[in-house]
Amino acid sequence: MSLALTKSIALLGLDGHVVTVEVDIADGLPAYVLLGLPDAALSESRDRVRAAIVNCGEKWPNRKVTVSLSPAWLPKSGSSFDLAICIALLSAHETIPPELISEIVFLGELSLDGRIRSVRGVLPALIAAQKAGIKTAVVPRANFQEAQLMQGIEIIGMDHVREVLRWLRTGDRVQADEIDFLWQPVDDVLDFADVAGQPQARLAAEIAATGGHHILLIGPPGTGKTMIAERIPTILPQLTISQALEVTAVHSIAGSFAQRSPTSLIAPIVSPHHTTTRVAMVGGGAHVIKPGACSLAHNGVLFIDEAPECPSGVLDSLRQPLEAGTITIARSIGNVTFPAQFLLVLAANPCPCGKFSGRGRNCTCTSQQVRRYLGRLSGPLMDRIDMRVHVDPVGRVDMARSELGESSAEIRARVIAARKISSARFSEYNWELNSQIPSRALRTIFQPKKEAMNFLHDELDKEHITARGLHKIIRVSWTLADIHGHDIPTLADVVQAHELRGGIEL
Amino acid sequence: MQTKNNQQTGAFGEEVVAQYLSGLHAEVIERNWRIREGEIDIIALYPSGVFAFVEVKTRSSVAFGHPFEAINREKAHRLQRLALGWLATHGCLGCEYQIDVAAVLIAPDGSHSIEYRTGVL
């Protein structure tokens, strides 16, 4: 028999498609034809597969080899088909029984000596395989930990083509250490105890973590804006398993496990540099659509330092994912939707020189420069920011104090308790966090106490706040009520929420 | 430049293939038909009436790859052009024909093996 087929997975964003890899060996002059819209990396598979086969001591068929990846209309990319092509080819060459491999998914890139290298997107690929009813999958051992997150499918981690061949021919294989897999709980490298002083910003971070409110930190350089932002994941509740799977799937597509373990339960934090492009922020790419920073921060924190320095448009590209919680990228090869539910934390200096705080005595900027600087943050974006908090320089009293501030563990305990209250309150609705309460509900069921509303309506009359701002304040006040243990927001909660929002009028 | 030894090797391979074709009851019409564009090693007529234009590759070792690997796409297409040229000059244009290739491997002890593929284009 000179025809064999096996399975692999093509990924388009997070969606996997099962691809049948067929290899036909026909009489004729030695040739290798690859069908099924391969990209450059995939076309190069011919030389990798050939070298790997020869270097494993197998024979390369000096005949006409036709490899077809079907469905043929689906554009395929990357090196993850190498292993499937290699195995199907050897089977078509009658060295492996073809019936063994026809229902197995093979993923992996081959090195020239036959070792199996890691590939991107193993977890989403396996999710697709399981949906298609595949029972067994062979993955690179380097991706084994990530692959094991997938339940209900037999995962076999392999290091070398020879190992795969021995298994297919004799049935024995090295049983991998499958116990190795454990969800990793929160580490304690970063801790809020490190932050000196800054009671206002600490409170704002706690509120942000509790209610999912987006936040802007404004302050001169060196006051701890970045420190605070980096520590927000340490006070967010641990991810649930399904949330962690979503995060791992996105990171798997991006191939970014150098920064983050696939089995981590810590909320991710992504801090793109302020020179980042729109594509890097929201995702994109012509042949392979990769998730951007906002998707990598899914279920976690997107922290943008020096936000006013961002090119215009980059921050505004976040407006749509902020509303929808997902981002859809349309390219010629197809539409791809990535999840993008993140907590946005922006940090900014108060002015170009950074010293316009307190009495602003050291600031060298003109008043117009100061006004323009924060004006670069567009109105529609600022409107989605619930809290604008000034982070003032730390005084000698705070720095000299020897006892540390509150630790992340203590704050997290409060965050979890407060979230429990709010999720119980919203049990019959389709939202979970205070920041997600729709405005209609704010005017009816979820209205604060009467005197609190009177205060807000007065502010509205004085044109100190807008109608939209009023809703934002009420949402934050609900979070404050949860933290303080009030059933509904009191006047004090609303005033505090108003102060947190009103840090600066933009 | 072909050395004398290589020419002998090639001639030996062609002889082997010619005998092989006779064994298939094919009639060898012409050997080493040469025009300016190139040469056809063997032209044969099968009992079924199909003309076969055979390129023979003879090797005494596989150190430089399998003989068939020496026939690339360009060379195969040149064979096709030559075949049409032969058919045209012999008034057989429109006859059924095929391009065959044969690999002859000569082992150090003098024994040889033949690999024959029909209709490679």
CATH number at residue A356: 3.40.50.300
Q: Which of A2, A25, A29 to mutate to test the interface with B (most CBs of B within 10 A)?
A: A29
B16/A contact by beta carbon, under 8 A: no
Over residues A123-147, mean pLDDT: 92
Same domain for A120 and A209, yes or no, is: no
Selecting from B71, B76, B117 the residue whose C-beta is nearest the C-beta of A27 gives B117
Q: Residue A204: inside a domain, yes or no?
A: yes
Last residue of a domain, one of A160, A180, A200: A180
pTM above 0.95, yes or no: no
- Contact (CB<8Å) B120/A30: no
Whether residue A126 sits in one domain with residue A61: yes
Place A91 in a pLDDT band, splitting at 50, 70 and 90: very high
* Chain B nearest C-alpha distance from A28 (Å): 4
Q: Are residues A403 and A447 in the same domain?
A: no
What chain B residue is nearest to A60 in terms of C-alpha separation? Answer: B66
ipTM of the complex as predicted: 0.74
Residue A74 CB partners (closer than 8 Å, separation 6+) = A10, A12, A17, A19, A36, A37
Cβ-defined contact of A29 to B117 (cutoff 8 Å): yes
A50 close to A89: Cβ distance less than 8 angstroms: no
In-domain check, residue A389: yes
Q: What is the mean pLDDT of residues B79-83?
A: 91
Calculate mean pLDDT across residues A445-461.
90
A30 and A170 inside one domain:
yes
- Interface contact flag, A27 B120, Cβ < 8 Å: yes
Residue A30: list chain B partners with CB under 8 A. Answer: 66, 68-69
Which candidate in A50, A60, A62, A63 is best for mutational testing of the B interface (most B CBs within 10 A)?
A: A62
Q: Is the pLDDT of residue B3 over 80?
A: no
| Domain presence at residue A185 | no
Min CA distance, B120 vs chain A (Å)? 4
Give which of B54, B62, B78, B117 to mutate to test A binding, by max A Cβ within 10 Å.
Answer: B117
Topology of the domain comprising B4-117: Trna Endonuclease; Chain: A, domain 1 (3.40.1350)
Mean pLDDT of A324-347: 91
- Chosen domain end from A147, A180, A213: A180
Phi, psi at residue A238, to the nearest 5°?
-55, 145
**What pLDDT does residue A180 have?**
53
Residue A1: its pLDDT value, please?
Answer: 54
Name the CA dihedral angle for A443, A446, A449, A455, rounded to a multiple of 10 degrees.
Answer: -40
Percent of chain A beyond pLDDT 90? 53
**A231 and A207 within one domain:** yes
The answer to the question of residue A432 being in a domain is no
Reported as half-sphere exposure (CB side, CA atoms, 13 A), residue B52 has a value of 27
Is A280 inside any structural domain?
yes
Query: Does residue A12 share a domain with residue A59?
Result: yes
Given pLDDT bands bounded at 50, 70 and 90, which one contains residue B28? very high
- Do A343 and A252 lie in one domain? The reply is yes
Both ends of chain A: CA-CA distance in Å? Answer: 73
Phi, psi (deg, nearest 5) at residue A373: -60, -55
Same-domain pairing of A498 and A406: no
What's the mean pLDDT in A26-46?
A: 90
Q: What is the dihedral of CA A153, A154, A159, A165, to 10 degrees?
A: -120
Q: Do B120 and A28 count as a contact with CB atoms less than 8 A apart?
A: yes
Answer whether residue A287 is part of any domain: yes
- How much of chain A, in percent, has pLDDT values that exceed 70? 96
* Stretch A243-250: mean pLDDT: 91
Residues A175 and A199 occupy one common structural domain: no
pLDDT for residue B4 is more than 80: no
* Predicted pLDDT of residue A263: 84
Each domain of chain B, given as residue ranges in start order, spans 4-117
Number of Cβ pairs < 8 A linking chain A and chain B: 24
Is beta strand B51-59 parallel, antiparallel or unpaired with respect to A290-291? unpaired
| pLDDT tens readout for residues A469-478 | 888 899 999 9
Identify all chain A residues contacting B78, using CB atoms and an 8 Å cutoff: none
Cβ-Cβ contacts under 8 Å, B120 against chain A: 27-29
Contact A433, A420 (CB under 8 A): no
Query: Does any domain span residue A421?
Result: no
Least reliable range by pLDDT among A277-281, A395-399, B99-103: A395-399
Using a CB-CB cut-off of 8 Å, the residues of chain A touching B119 are 27-28
Please state, in angstroms and as integers, the Cα–Cα distance from residue A184 to each residue in A28, A256, A269, A296, A407, following that order.
55, 17, 16, 18, 20
Same domain, A441 and A341: no
For A148, how many CA atoms within 13 A lie in the half-sphere containing its CB? 15
CB-nearest to A62 from B69, B119, B121 is B69
Residues of A with CB under 8 A from a CB of B: 27-31, 62
Report how many domains make up chain A.
3
Are B68 and A31 a contacting pair at CB < 8 A?
no
Asked if A105 and A145 sit in the same domain, the reply is: yes
Q: Which residues of B touch A27 (CB under 8 A)?
A: 117-120
Buried b / exposed e over A321-353, threshold 16 CB at 10 Å, is bbeeeebebeeebeebbbbbbbbbbbbbbbbbb
Give the model's confidence band at A126: pLDDT under 50 very low, under 70 low, under 90 confident, else very high: very high
Residue A430 lies in a domain: no
Quick check: B84 contacting A, CB < 8 Å? no
CA distance A440 to A109: 53
Distance CA A235, CA A213 (A): 14
Give the residue numbers spanning the domain of A234.
192-410
Partner-chain contact B76 A30, CB within 8 Å:
no
Closest alpha carbon within chain A to B67 = A62
Residues A366 and A443 occupy one common structural domain: no
The verdict on B113 touching A (C-beta cutoff 8 Å) is no
